[in-house]
Structure 1
Amino acid sequence: MTQENAIVRCAWCGTDPLYVKYHDEEWGKPVYDDQTLFEFLILESAQAGLSWITVLRKRENYRKAFAEFDAKKVAKFTATDIERLMQDIGIIRNRQKIEAAINNAKLFLSVQEEHGSFSDYIWGFLPVKKPIINSFEDHKNAPAWTELSDRISAEMKKKGFKFFGTTICYAHMQATGMVNDHIDGCFAK
């Protein structure tokens, strides 16, 4: 392949095959499915203070540990489940993050009940529920948070969501395609 024919992608994913696959197939693609939105809510909250690749490598373990990301099942987790998860070496064993996942599952269900779906609620922060397409020549120019992520995070905190500050919120928005921060020229844009 010549240099002119090389695939251009965002530099943040490097060459790790798992990261490249995530970049190419998921990141920045709009997600309207509640179960997938819940999955990213759990994963992004677990990521707080860590690198995304750390969480991505544990994603399948999270899927098993958190009932295939079924919010109804996770909302019913008990103290026994918390202790089980604290012993699970396949996930990030942080009690506050585990407890937040259970708390957030309960709140996720309440948002679904109030708004018809979590998707309707979260996408309702965007004009006509369509992604924001940003233009950056370098991924380093993408923000870590925005006024919109501030607003969404503040609203979710009012509802009682944990581990969903503005930076985590913005990462969630990127992961679920609410914003598309692929660099200009990236084939996945």
Structure 2
Amino acid sequence: MSTDPQARALIVGEDGLARPPWAAHDPLLRDYYDTEWGMPVRDERGVFERLTLEAFQSGLSWATILRKREAFRAAFDHFDPEVMATYGEEDEARLLADQRIVRNRAKIAAAITNARATLALRDDPDLRGDPVHAKAEGPVDAGLAALIWSYRPRHTPRPGALAEVPTQSAESVALARELKRRGFTFVGPTTMFALMEAIGLVDTHLVGSHRRGSSGLTW
């Protein structure tokens, strides 16, 4: 058995690829880790979907949310903020009765509130996307995506073990504060750091994982 702490933090699968324990066994989580988690998401709807799902995940396992993701997409009109912003009492009742998703009244209300807040960001002249936040190294939609990508830190973590992976950062604290100021809810610092990990603002793949650096973050 290896005595290298980094090696103990990773599990090498039958395919010869090293992954953290949470992504090493469940096929759904393994595929998510291999193909999606940590890859840059820069479009408004993609960012909004992930922000919404991270809020629903609060207090639950990510596997639970991932298994329900297609049901969430169907129930929430594929996370189109323009459609969700029009939801009223009938829609809230429909969602609360939908057994396929997480039926939490506060989180459902937050999703609708955040859709409306997302639309409001479109009118902000300081959130025009690419010209303002070119450091994202790719096209960034105006509004919500531009705001979130503006909190990309100067340096990305380099964890060698799961215990070294942060759960929040100065940037996630600041982002949570700004989103709340803009009318968003269920956007605490820990939830926002998870979002930053998921959409490629930071790379918390363990050093030695086959996915380390795959998002293009090398700083």
TM over 0.5: yes
User: Match for residue 6 of structure 1?
Assistant: 16
User: Match for residue 145 of structure 1?
Assistant: 168
Mapped to 2, the partners of 1:39 and 1:74 lie a distance apart of 11
Give the unaligned 5+ runs of structure 2: 1-11, 129-141, 213-219
Q: Matched residue of 1:179: which SS?
A: coil
How far did residue 10 of structure 1 move? 2.2
TM-score of the two chains, using structure 2 as the length reference: 0.80
Q: Matched residue of 1:163: which SS?
A: coil
Alignment of 1:83 with 2:93, yes or no, is yes
**1:36 corresponds to which letter in structure 2?**
G
**1:64 aligned to which of 74, 81, 84:** 74
**1:112 corresponds to which letter in structure 2?**
R
Alignment of 1:110 with 2:133, yes or no, is no
Q: Considering fraction of residues, name the structure with more helix.
A: 1
**2:62 corresponds to which letter in structure 1?**
W
CA contact (8 A) 2:152 2:202 kept: no
CA contact (8 A) 1:149 1:166 kept: yes
Superposition misfits of 4+ residues, deviation over 3 angstroms: none
**1:125 aligned to which of 127, 143, 151:** 151
Structure with higher RCO (Cα < 8 A, 6+ apart): 1
How far did residue 6 of structure 1 move? 1.7
Mapped to 2, the partners of 1:111 and 1:9 lie a distance apart of 37
User: Match for residue 176 of structure 1?
Assistant: 199
Mapped to 1, the partners of 2:190 and 2:199 lie a distance apart of 14
Root-mean-square deviation (Å): 1.8
Mapped to 2, the partners of 1:23 and 1:15 lie a distance apart of 11
**1:124 corresponds to which letter in structure 2?**
S
TM-score of the two chains, using structure 1 as the length reference: 0.92
Calculate percent identity across the aligned residue pairs: 38
How far did residue 52 of structure 1 move? 0.8
How far did residue 136 of structure 1 move? 1.0
When Rg is computed on C-alpha atoms for both structures, the one with the higher figure is 2
Give the unaligned 5+ runs of structure 1: none
Alpha-carbon displacement from aligned partner over 1:73-103 (angstroms, at most 9, x marks no partner):
0111111000000000111000000000000
CA contact (8 A) 2:47 2:145 kept: yes
